[in-house]
Amino acid sequence: MKRIKRLISLMALVFIGAAMLSGVSAAEEKLSLKLSVKAESIELTWNGSKKESYTVYKKTGKGKFVKADRVTGKKYTDKDLESGETYTYYIKKSKKVRSEQKKTVYVAPPKMKKSSVGSKGVTLKWNESDGAEKYIIYRRAEGGKKKRLAVTDENSYKDLSVKKGVIYTYTVKSVRGEAVSASSSAVRTGRLTAPELISLSKSADGLRLKWGRTENAEKYAVYRKKGEKGKWKKIASVNGKTFSYEDKNVEDRVKYSYYVRAQADESRSIYEKKSISQLCLKAPDGFTLKVSGKKISLDWKKTEGAESYQVYRQTGDGKWKKVKTVKADKYSEALKSTGNKVSYKVRAVTDKGKTAFTAVKSNRGVDPSKPMVALTYDDGPHPVNTHRILDALEKHGARATFFVVGSRVTDYKDCLERQAELGCEIANHSFSHTTLSVSKDKTVREEIEKTDALIEKYSGQKPVLCRAPGGSVGKAAKLTDRPFIHWSVDTLDWQSRSCSKVVSHIRKNVRDGSIILMHDLYGSTAEASEIIIPWLISEGYQLVTVSEMLEARSGGADGGKIYYNGYA
Ligand code: ZN
């Protein structure tokens, strides 16, 4: 009995195994094929194995089946298609194992052309797809759902139901019989609100246009018309976060008109016949401001058609006030103190109207409550080292006082011009570096007067301060009735000719109100200046001229007196 039972169970195992094997082959015999039409292809998928090979057969229209490809896996993409054609496929694994035939019509989606936005709506255009009988248009408002909008047999569609300020995404599908293509590329467009033109004003170099923000705008296009008869032209495109444009490509005394369009992809606001116009009247050219102690001198070039010029002044951050209307192309005035920051701008009054204002130019005020230092340089000018020091001062917005030797001034007059331009003070160190204390009265006067005349000639500054060569003033102060300036920090730069020694001496000895003695003849001093100027600023010192310091700390410098410092 036991043997028989064992035999039966063995047979059962064999039977089950055979059934399993036949089950696998039964599944293989039922290859089922699916077709799906994409934008540029037909995709075939079937229930095969990724590792097995299959042959794809294809029939175009009423032609014959041809072997299209042999592939490994269960997917095939056919891109060799013509729009409007019918395709039939089947898949074959072996003689016995093949799929049923599947048929589909391929229609290509339409190729979208540039859309346009008019006062009434959006016009979409596309290239006809071969074999397409009609087209379905879909629309999605930004943030909304895609909706079927219309069906047409034309190659264009005008959407009159657009809301102003909304951006829509449009897609179109081609239709042939039952077949529907994939979606066309998306067209993002709509009718944006036209930007509100806020102002058009004269700027120093041209005209400045300002407009308001438009919802959904990604950029703005600026259009311009020159004169009354010119043509509208797009002159600029700026990003959606910019709401102004300065047009510098303008001719003086010509009227210009502008309008702005908002854009986002192909969306744009339409031109609503609203524009803004302005006569371009440029600011006077070459506006400069020079400071000489308390004296402010303004200068500019003659403006065509100017009848007069209006000078405006601002003290500190206060209100702008008209100071004077002048006929000449310059203006000067004396300030009550050098302590305040004072700014100026000028415009011309011409036969065609007022011009734009020039750029604002300011003196550099001194804050008497804050620490300050006066760097002083003697014995120059020097053709190389003076400029190097001026470079450092200019770079850091600082100024110094240069006690020049009169006999050197004519040769290096460019140094004085630049010193004055940078707001530095130019002072008198005698004509021939003579020891004034032992000179005759007449000589002392001549030494000072000759140098004064040269400084004024080349810098435009009328010098106030003097420094005696060797520091020996003697009777010179009383004789000339001029303030003489000594120092509180002597760097001995002429002796050491060492950059590091000059730098460390200043670092150790400087304090609020220091007058620091150096000489602009030496490379080592220029090098030290390049280090010490930014260092002093970083320590909180204002780098001022001697006159500015004495003005802030002693109420000015009196003739006949000697000053050593500007301690508070
Ligand atoms: Zn000297």
Residue 163's identity, in one-letter code, is K
If you measure from the C-alpha of residue 183 to the centroid of ligand 1, how many angstroms do you get, rounded to a whole number?
A: 88
Distance of alpha carbon 36 from the chain centroid: 51
If you measure from the C-alpha of residue 429 to the centroid of ligand 1, how many angstroms do you get, rounded to a whole number?
A: 7
Residue 4: its pLDDT value, please? 53
**58: β partners:** 66, 89
Residue 29: its pLDDT value, please? 61
Residue 6: its pLDDT value, please? 57
Taking only the tens place, the pLDDT of each residue in 522-537 is: 999 999 999 999 999 9
Q: Name the least confident of 3-12, 353-362, 364-373.
A: 3-12
Residues 183 and 296 in one domain: no
Mean pLDDT across the stretch 118-135? 93
Q: Name the least confident of 43-57, 220-234, 286-300, 402-416.
A: 286-300
If you measure from the C-alpha of residue 535 to the centroid of ligand 1, how many angstroms do you get, rounded to a whole number?
A: 26
Q: What is the widest separation between alpha-carbon atoms in the chain? A: 155
Active site residues: 378, 519
Q: Which residue has the higher pLDDT, 182 or 269?
A: 182
In a domain, residue 541? The reply is yes
Taking only the tens place, the pLDDT of each residue in 423-447 is: 899 999 999 999 999 999 999 999 9
If you measure from the C-alpha of residue 114 to the centroid of ligand 1, how many angstroms do you get, rounded to a whole number?
A: 78
The domain of 339 spans 288-362
Domains: count for the chain: 6
Residue 295: its pLDDT value, please? 83
Distance, CA of 150 to CA of 147 (rounded, Å): 9
Residues 241 and 101 in one domain: no
Residue 283: its pLDDT value, please? 94
pLDDT of 477 over the 70 cut: yes
If you measure from the C-alpha of residue 295 to the centroid of ligand 1, how many angstroms do you get, rounded to a whole number?
A: 27
Residue 460: its pLDDT value, please? 85
If you measure from the C-alpha of residue 433 to the centroid of ligand 1, how many angstroms do you get, rounded to a whole number?
A: 6
Mean pLDDT across the stretch 87-109? 94
If you measure from the C-alpha of residue 556 to the centroid of ligand 1, how many angstroms do you get, rounded to a whole number?
A: 24
Confidence of residue 270 (pLDDT cuts 50, 70, 90): confident
Q: Which residue has the higher pLDDT, 478 or 290?
A: 478
Residues 392 and 494 in one domain: yes
Residues 449 and 538 in one domain: yes
pLDDT of 421 over the 60 cut: yes
Among 139, 164, 190, the domain boundary falls at 190
pLDDT of 364 over the 80 cut: no
pLDDT of 18 over the 50 cut: no
Mean pLDDT across the stretch 110-132? 92
Q: Which residue has the higher pLDDT, 266 or 234?
A: 234
In a domain, residue 568? The reply is no
Taking only the tens place, the pLDDT of each residue in 37-74 is: 999 999 999 998 889 999 999 999 999 999 999 999 99
Residues 298 and 313 in one domain: yes
Residues 93 and 231 in one domain: no
Q: Is the distance from CB of 18 to CB of 10 less than 8 angstroms?
A: no
Residue 47: its pLDDT value, please? 92
Residues 17 and 127 in one domain: no
Residues 539 and 406 in one domain: yes
pLDDT of 31 over the 60 cut: yes
Residues 506 and 399 in one domain: yes
Q: Is the distance from CB of 190 to CB of 168 less than 8 angstroms?
A: yes
Taking only the tens place, the pLDDT of each residue in 284-330 is: 999 988 877 678 999 999 999 999 999 999 998 899 999 999 999 99
Per DSSP, the residues of 508-550 read: HH--TT-EEEEETT-HHHHHHHHHHHHHHHHTT-EE--HHHHH
